[in-house]
């Protein structure tokens, strides 16, 4: 545990007790006597009114009618929080209203010098999606899909859901066990196990119209879901060797389910193994575009003929432009 974190926890520990000793602090936080004494002195210097009791069984207590002092941030912690806010702007993240109020509270906690540093950082740091003419920390206008926060709130209580989606102009429902909620290519996706069809299903959050709990009587256990998914694991049908240029492109972007294994200590060569659903048109198109994005610094060891055919079509189209 880092020192700043430990001291904050010790402050709360002290504030909830009428009396404490150095030995209790040592035992509770697994620290030495000298460390405990230094921490207590630092807490006193931060403004907590501690009164020492003299004697063999003496200790400390918090002066009556006193309160826990405000948690303080170091200069580097303030910069880290500020930069995190800047870097996550325009990403359609949930709880934007809470992020807005959180930013206001943080700014109210820091000193004028720290605020001046943030103003300067705001002027010189630009992240992707930042408007250079209005680089305002509190200008969080990238509203996510209205169903996203509702979905997250439901997930905190239950992962067995019925999701209602708009597909091809029709309203359809899918009972699923939600395994992951992730963001890929600027859009949020639900990865779930279809409880009726017994297979993995990907659903764009943008298509959601409603979410409801799935009836308990119809549920199957998480253990059975894992077993069914394991049985359905597909054989690898795409194997590539990547050189340094292809690895650089891979780091810029890759589909969520695809990973690479480096084949030398310098991480200049790697191997990619995955399964492509060639009968899923959207996935076939996506993987074709992505392979072209990787560039020519690859060696093909194994590839489905459908992917080769789609690559040839794309190359012909590009050649005619």
Q: What is the pLDDT at residue 300?
A: 94
- CATH numbers and ranges of domains, the chain: 3-62 (1.10.10.10), 73-144 (no CATH), 147-231 (2.30.30.520), 238-320 (3.30.70)
Q: What percent of the chain has pLDDT over 90?
A: 29
Give the whole-angstrom CA distance, residue 72 versus residue 11: 12
Report for 8-17, 26-35, 181-190: range of highest mean pLDDT:
26-35
Tell whether the model's pLDDT for residue 135 goes beyond 70: no
The mean per-residue pLDDT over the stretch 303-310 comes to: 92
187-194: strand order across its sheet? 199-204, 187-194, 170-184, 160-167, 208-213
Tell whether the model's pLDDT for residue 177 goes beyond 90: yes
Dihedral angle sign, alpha carbons of residues 141, 144, 145, 148: negative
Query: Do 271 and 264 meet the contact criterion of CB atoms below 8 Å apart?
Result: no
Query: Do 208 and 172 meet the contact criterion of CB atoms below 8 Å apart?
Result: no
Give the whole-angstrom CA distance, residue 204 versus residue 234: 23
The mean per-residue pLDDT over the stretch 295-307 comes to: 93
Which run of H or E residues covers position 183? strand 170-184
Q: What backbone torsions phi and psi does residue 62 show, to the nearest 5 degrees?
A: -85, 135
DSSP state of 33: H
Query: Do 125 and 86 meet the contact criterion of CB atoms below 8 Å apart?
Result: yes
Q: What is the pLDDT at residue 138?
A: 45
User: Would you state the structure tokens that stand for residue 219, as one six-digit string?
Assistant: 């549920």
Could you read off the pLDDT of 67-121 as tens digits, one per residue? Answer: 555 556 778 888 888 888 878 777 778 887 777 777 777 777 777 888 888 888 8
| Greatest extent of the chain over all pairs of C-alpha atoms, in Å | 92
Closest listed residue to residue 192, CA positions, set 184, 200, 139: 200
Report for 70-74, 122-126, 175-179, 284-288: range of highest mean pLDDT:
175-179
Could you read off the pLDDT of 200-250 as tens digits, one per residue? Answer: 888 989 899 999 999 998 899 999 998 888 876 667 899 999 999 999 999
Report the alpha-carbon angle 144-150-151, nearest 5: 90
Query: Do 66 and 49 meet the contact criterion of CB atoms below 8 Å apart?
Result: yes
Token pair 């989606």 is found at 165
Closest listed residue to residue 311, CA positions, set 272, 259, 276: 276
């Amino acid at each position: 545990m880092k020192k700043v974190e430990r001291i904050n926890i010790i402050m709360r520990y002290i504030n909830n007790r009428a009396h404490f000793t150095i030995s209790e602090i040592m035992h509770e936080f697994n620290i030495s006597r000298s460390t405990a004494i230094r921490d207590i002195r630092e807490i006193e210097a931060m403004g907590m009114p501690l009164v020492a009791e003299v004697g063999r069984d003496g200790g400390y207590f918090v002066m009556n009618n006193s309160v826990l002092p405000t948690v303080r941030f170091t200069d580097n912690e303030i910069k880290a929080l500020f930069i995190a806010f800047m870097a996550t702007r325009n990403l359609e993240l949930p709880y934007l209203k809470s992020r807005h109020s959180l930013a206001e509270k943080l700014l109210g906690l820091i000193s004028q010098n720290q605020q001046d540093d943030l103003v300067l950082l705001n002027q010189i740091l630009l992240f992707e999606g930042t408007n250079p003419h209005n680089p305002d920390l509190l200008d969080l206008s990238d509203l996510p899909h209205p169903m996203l926060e509702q979905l997250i709130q439901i997930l905190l209580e239950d992962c067995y859901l019925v999701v209602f989606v708009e597909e091809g102009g029709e309203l359809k429902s899918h009972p699923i066990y939600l395994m992951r909620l992730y963001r890929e290519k600027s859009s949020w996706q639900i990865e779930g196990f279809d409880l009726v069809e017994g297979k993995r299903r990907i659903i764009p959050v943008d298509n959601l119209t409603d979410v409801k709990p799935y009836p308990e009587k119809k549920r199957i256990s998480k253990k059975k879901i894992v077993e069914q998914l394991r049985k359905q694991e597909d054989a690898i049908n795409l194997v590539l060797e990547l050189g340094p240029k292809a690895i650089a492109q891979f780091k810029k972007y890759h589909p969520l389910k695809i990973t690479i294994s480096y084949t030398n200590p310098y991480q200049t060569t790697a191997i990619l193994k995955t399964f492509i659903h060639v009968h899923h048109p959207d996935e076939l198109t996506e993987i074709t575009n992505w392979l072209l994005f990787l560039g020519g610094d690859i060696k093909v060891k194994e590839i489905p003929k459908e992917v080769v055919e789609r690559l040839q079509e794309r190359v012909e189209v590009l050649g005619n432009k």
